[in-house]
Chains A and B, each alone.
Chain A
Amino acid sequence: MTAVLQDTRTTPAVAAPGRRRRRRVAGVGVALIVVLALAWSLAPVYWMLATSFKSSLEVSRLDPTLVPRELVAGNYGELVGHSLPFTSYLVNSLLTSLIAAVIAVFFSALAGYSLSRARYRLRGVVGQAILATRMLPLVVLIGPLYLLLLKAHLLDTYLGLIIGYTSFALPFGAWMMKGFIDAVPREIEEAARVDGYRRFGILVRVIIPLTLPGLFTTAAFVFMDAWNNLLYPLTLINTAQKQTLPPGLLGSFTGQFKTDWGGMMAAACITSVPLLVAFFAVQRYMVRGLTAGALAGE
């Protein structure tokens, strides 16, 4: 148990015996809390996985079994069968979120570069204004946005949805990219300028290759935002075949399938996979990305 508390900083070589005992007790206490925290974080995920492999008979027991008696894949089979347009939800979510991520990263890189390097008088104000839009409540925007897209004949189209996702992600993305570009030394850029590169050339040939982790982190955040977004597709899409996962699943598991917990958990498992992949791929860079926009000192 004491291995848990492997102190990375130097510890005094000699410690009084009473003190050592107290340390051991504290160590066990910490280990216990860490185990509890792990259970709190992972038990719901385990429960989702376990339920998704139970037979419908086992799921509907009033006294649930903690470990499935037998593993069946029936819940997953039904999802790809024809009872629900689950596959189209999945494809639509992947398509719109990925495209939104690519577009948002492109514009964010441009804006971030400008906010980080360009010299113009209103730079500070422009930056703050962009950041402020991040705070606006989506639901206040959605009414007028709905009317706007209605007029532009973009309601119930993927394009309308992608525009919604992109605009929502842009402010944060721009600040995130600014943070990553700030970290690139100016001297490198000067050297490229001496070599005859123009501004756009510097961005593409010098800055972008040096901030690839930043680009991927920003992309992952936009993707996660879009993947989680319930409000936009719920209001802007009304054909079932064009719907994304969140509203699609919500619609599927409210009516007659309300208590199909096995199916619901199977759908939940599949819905989680892309986000888990995106999240753990960029986890290392996350803190830098997150605080970039927030510490708006300039």
Chain B
Amino acid sequence: MVAPTLVILAVVIGYPIVRAILMSFQRYKPLSGLPATNTGLNNYHEVFGDPIFWESLRNTAVYTFGSVAVSALLGLLLALLTENLGGRWRYVRSLLLTPWAVPLIVVAFLFRYMLDQDYGVVNAVLRHLGIIHSNVHWLTSSAWAMPSVMLANIWTQLPFFFLIFTAGLASVPNEVIEAARVDKAGPWAMATRIKLPYLTGSALVAILISVINNFNDFAKVWAMTEGGPGYSTTTLVVYVYRLAFSSFNMGYAATVGTIWLILLVIFAVLYIWLLQRKSAS
């Protein structure tokens, strides 16, 4: 019964991956009308000397690890603080999940509007509070564009961590909490010594899922800045997309994609190895 799924995946995912790896050794520009020609490792040499590649690699790392770290920490904090909400207040938890249910294109539009340099509410509020004196070009200056896109990204994914950690906290056995209370553990000790150890498992899994999703994120970045200004928010996804569908340089795009695939696999293998070593000890 698993066969239909395997067949579909082989055609729509397996074949493209093999083809992408093969293309990474070719010079192939479909619009030129020339057939693909094998060029060996030429593309790879070119990639390592390509400054835009290195810049997008750095941007990807900042975007991914920055967003995940901030979202995970804030999600953990919120989960700990709202743990004991009961009665009428338990709906607060559902309300805090709302950003997750907002479509990504809407998130992009919403933050584009709120961060607009002329009409945006963020500049207006900061101006009224006297924090800034002239409008900040949030999305159109290379210094602020990346933090601004990350802000939108953190807004959408914080609920994911909040939910995972809330579920993790609910699984801490009551006896453990009672025992700690009898020993007069303060709230800080309770959180760090008693509850956190129960959360590491779900935290590691959630971080892995979320790092991979962020590595592969296209919609938010593209809809907010298209990778600009300059290359300041060009992540690897955006760079590969531009290479493949703006310059139609399929071979070179496949090379960047393959290198990135290798990095992703290395990260995942290391991570899973760590995870298993941890659960073994």
A and B held together in a complex: yes
Question: Is A110 positioned at the interface, with any CB of B under 8 Å from its CB?
Answer: yes
Partner of B86, one of A8, A140, A167, A276: A8
Question: Is A187 positioned at the interface, with any CB of B under 8 Å from its CB?
Answer: no
- Cα A42 to Cα B124 in complex, Å, equals 19
- Cα A61 to Cα B250 in complex, Å, equals 45
Q: How distant is B64 from chain A, measured CB to nearest CB, in Å?
A: 12
Q: Are A115 and B2 in contact (CB under 8 A)?
A: yes
Q: How distant is A254 from chain B, measured CB to nearest CB, in Å?
A: 9
Partner of A130, one of B5, B124, B167: B5
Q: Are B103 and A271 in contact (CB under 8 A)?
A: yes
Q: Are A111 and B1 in contact (CB under 8 A)?
A: yes
Partner of A126, one of B2, B106, B159, B237: B2
Q: How distant is A294 from chain B, measured CB to nearest CB, in Å?
A: 4
Q: Are A230 and B8 in contact (CB under 8 A)?
A: no
Contact partners of B114 in chain A: CB under 8 A: 44, 47
Contact partners of A276 in chain B: CB under 8 A: 98, 101-102
Question: Is A250 positioned at the interface, with any CB of B under 8 Å from its CB?
Answer: yes
Partner of B223, one of A166, A227, A246: A246
Contact partners of A246 in chain B: CB under 8 A: 103-105, 219, 223
Question: Is A183 positioned at the interface, with any CB of B under 8 Å from its CB?
Answer: no
Q: Are B96 and A38 in contact (CB under 8 A)?
A: yes
Q: Which of B105, B111, B167, B219 has the most CB of A within 10 A?
A: B105
Q: How distant is B268 from chain A, measured CB to nearest CB, in Å?
A: 6
Question: Is A13 positioned at the interface, with any CB of B under 8 Å from its CB?
Answer: no
**What residue in chain A is nearest B223 (Cβ atoms)?**
A250
Question: Is B89 positioned at the interface, with any CB of A under 8 Å from its CB?
Answer: yes
Partner of B216, one of A59, A138, A167, A265: A138
Per-residue 0/1 for B105-142: is the Cβ within 8 Å of any A Cβ (1 yes, 0 no)?
11001110110101101001000000000000000000
- Cα A287 to Cα B160 in complex, Å, equals 9
Q: How distant is B209 from chain A, measured CB to nearest CB, in Å?
A: 6
The answer to whether residues A3 and B2 also contact, given A148-B16, A228-B219, A230-B223 and a CB cut-off of 8 A, is no
Q: How distant is B27 from chain A, measured CB to nearest CB, in Å?
A: 14
Q: How large is the interface on B (under 10, 10 to 19, 20 to 34, 35 or more residues)?
A: 35 or more
The answer to whether residues A167 and B212 also contact, given A111-B1, A230-B105, A271-B103 and a CB cut-off of 8 A, is no
Contact partners of A253 in chain B: CB under 8 A: 109
Question: Is A28 positioned at the interface, with any CB of B under 8 Å from its CB?
Answer: no
The answer to whether residues A167 and B15 also contact, given A26-B187, A137-B216, A287-B167 and a CB cut-off of 8 A, is no
- Cα A291 to Cα B174 in complex, Å, equals 22
- Cα A114 to Cα B30 in complex, Å, equals 41
Per-residue 0/1 for B16-28: is the Cβ within 8 Å of any A Cβ (1 yes, 0 no)?
1101100100000
Q: How distant is A278 from chain B, measured CB to nearest CB, in Å?
A: 8
Q: Are A250 and B105 in contact (CB under 8 A)?
A: yes
Question: Is A298 positioned at the interface, with any CB of B under 8 Å from its CB?
Answer: no
Q: What are 8 A-B contacts with C-beta separation under 8 Å? A: A114-B1, A118-B2, A144-B15, A145-B16, A147-B30, A170-B5, A261-B116, A291-B167
- B: which residues have CB within 8 A of A? 1-2, 4-6, 8-9, 11-17, 19-20, 23, 30, 78, 81-82, 84-87, 89, 92, 94-106, 109-111, 113-114, 116, 118-119, 121, 124, 155, 159-160, 163-164, 167, 174, 177-178, 187, 202, 205-206, 208-209, 212, 215-216, 218-219, 222-223, 237, 240-241, 244-245, 250, 253-254, 257-258, 260-261, 264, 268
